[in-house]
Amino acid sequence: MFNNLSDKLDKAFHVLKGHGKITEVNVAETLKEVRRALLDADVNFKIAKNFTKTVKEKALGQDVLTTLNPGQLMVKIVKDELTALMGGETVGINLSGTPTVILMSGLQGSGKTTFSGKLANYLKTKKAKNVLLVGCDVYRPAAINQLKVVGEQVGVEVYAEEGNQNPVEISQNAIKHAKNTGKNVVIIDTAGRLAVDDAMMTEISNIHKAVSPQETLFVVDSMTGQDAVNTAKAFNDILNFEGVVLTKLDGDTRGGAALSIKSVVNKPIKFIGTGEKMEAIDVFHPNRMADRILGMGDVVSLVERAQEQYDEEEARKIQKKIAKNQFGFDDFLKQIQQIKKMGNMKDLMGMIPGAGKMMKDVDIDDDAFKGIEAIIHSMTPEERSEPKVINASRKKRIAKGSGTTIQEVNQLLKQFTQMSKMMKMMQGGGGRQMMQMMKG
Ligand code: GDP
Judge whether 248 is annotated as a binding position: yes
Residue 109 CA to ligand 1 center (angstroms) comes to 6
- Give me the number of domains the chain comprises: 3
User: Helix axis angle, 312-323 relative to 406-427, nearest 10°?
Assistant: 100
Q: What is the number of the ligand 1 atom nearest to the C-alpha of 116?
A: 7
Is the predicted pLDDT of residue 5 greater than 50, yes or no?
yes
Percent of the residues in the chain that have a pLDDT greater than 90, as a whole number: 46
Residue 342 CA to ligand 1 center (angstroms) comes to 20
Question: Which carries the bigger pLDDT value, residue 260 or residue 436?
Answer: 260
Do 341 and 434 lie in a common domain?
A: yes
- Provide ipTM, 2 decimals: 0.99
pLDDT value at position 361? 59
**Residue 94 belongs to some domain of the structure:** no
Do 69 and 111 lie in a common domain?
A: no
**Residue 93 belongs to some domain of the structure:** no
Residue 35: which CATH number?
A: 1.20.120.140
**Residue 52 belongs to some domain of the structure:** yes
- For residues 294 and 291, give the distance between their C-alpha atoms in angstroms, rounded to a whole number: 5
What residue numbers bound the domain in which 55 lies? Answer: 3-85
Residue 334: which CATH number?
A: 1.10.260.30
Q: Which residues contact 250 (CB under 8 A, 6 or more apart)?
A: 1, 273, 274, 275, 280, 344, 346, 347
pLDDT value at position 366? 62
pLDDT value at position 427? 61
Residue 345 CA to ligand 1 center (angstroms) comes to 20
Residue 102 CA to ligand 1 center (angstroms) comes to 19
58-62, 141-145, 217-221, 402-406: least confidently modelled range: 58-62
Answer yes or no: are the C-beta atoms of 15 and 33 closer than 8 Å.
yes
- Convert the pLDDT of each residue in 217-263 to its tens digit: 999 998 887 888 889 999 999 999 999 999 998 877 778 888 999 99
- Convert the pLDDT of each residue in 57-115 to its tens digit: 888 777 666 666 777 778 888 999 999 999 999 999 999 999 999 999 999 999 999 99
Do 292 and 308 lie in a common domain?
A: no
Residue 135: which CATH number?
A: 3.40.50.300
Mean pLDDT value across the chain:
85
Q: Specify the residue with its C-alpha closest to ligand 1, atom 16.
A: 276
pLDDT value at position 44? 87
pLDDT value at position 434? 47
Which of 38, 61, 85 is at the close of a domain? Answer: 85
Do 292 and 320 lie in a common domain?
A: no
Confidence of residue 178 (pLDDT cuts 50, 70, 90): very high
Is the predicted pLDDT of residue 305 greater than 90, yes or no?
no
Q: What is the number of the ligand 1 atom nearest to the C-alpha of 280?
A: 23
Single pTM value for the model: 0.75
Do 217 and 129 lie in a common domain?
A: yes
Percent of the residues in the chain that have a pLDDT greater than 70, as a whole number: 85
Do 131 and 38 lie in a common domain?
A: no
Q: What is the number of the ligand 1 atom nearest to the C-alpha of 251?
A: 26
pLDDT value at position 42? 87
Judge whether 30 is annotated as a binding position: no
Protein residues with CB under 6 Å of any ligand 1 atom: 106, 108-114, 146, 192, 247-248, 250-251, 273-276, 280
Is the predicted pLDDT of residue 428 greater than 70, yes or no?
no
- For residues 390 and 410, give the distance between their C-alpha atoms in angstroms, rounded to a whole number: 10
The dihedral through the CA atoms of 391, 394, 399, 400 has a sign that is positive
Task: For residue 286, say if its preceding peptide bond is cis, omega within 30 degrees of 0.
Answer: no
CA distances from 355 to 6, 321, 351 (A): 13, 33, 8
pLDDT value at position 21? 61
- Convert the pLDDT of each residue in 12-66 to its tens digit: 887 777 665 667 777 888 899 899 989 988 888 899 999 999 998 888 777 666 6
- Convert the pLDDT of each residue in 334-380 to its tens digit: 877 777 777 766 677 666 666 655 555 556 666 667 888 899 999 99
Do 158 and 69 lie in a common domain?
A: no
Do 320 and 388 lie in a common domain?
A: yes
Q: Specify the residue with its C-alpha closest to ligand 1, atom 26.
A: 275
Do 178 and 115 lie in a common domain?
A: yes
**Residue 95 belongs to some domain of the structure:** no
pLDDT value at position 439? 45
CA distances from 185 to 103, 179, 214, 385 (A): 11, 10, 10, 45
- Per DSSP, what are the bridge partners of residue 133? 158, 187
Do 62 and 140 lie in a common domain?
A: no
Pocket test of ligand 1: the residue of 276, 279, 344, 347 to mutate, having most ligand atoms within 8 Å of its CB, is: 276
Q: What is the number of the ligand 1 atom nearest to the C-alpha of 114?
A: 7
Residue 196 CA to ligand 1 center (angstroms) comes to 18
Confidence of residue 431 (pLDDT cuts 50, 70, 90): very low
pLDDT value at position 340? 75
Judge whether 191 is annotated as a binding position: yes
Question: Which carries the bigger pLDDT value, residue 210 or residue 42?
Answer: 210
Angle CA 385–383–320, to nearest 5: 10
**How do beta strands 131-135 and 185-189 pair?**
parallel
Judge whether 176 is annotated as a binding position: no
Residue 188 CA to ligand 1 center (angstroms) comes to 16
Q: Nearest-CA neighbor of 71 among 12, 16, 11, 15?
A: 16
Which of 51, 85, 119 is at the close of a domain? Answer: 85
Which of 267, 296, 325 is at the close of a domain? Answer: 296
Do 278 and 150 lie in a common domain?
A: yes
Do 251 and 379 lie in a common domain?
A: no
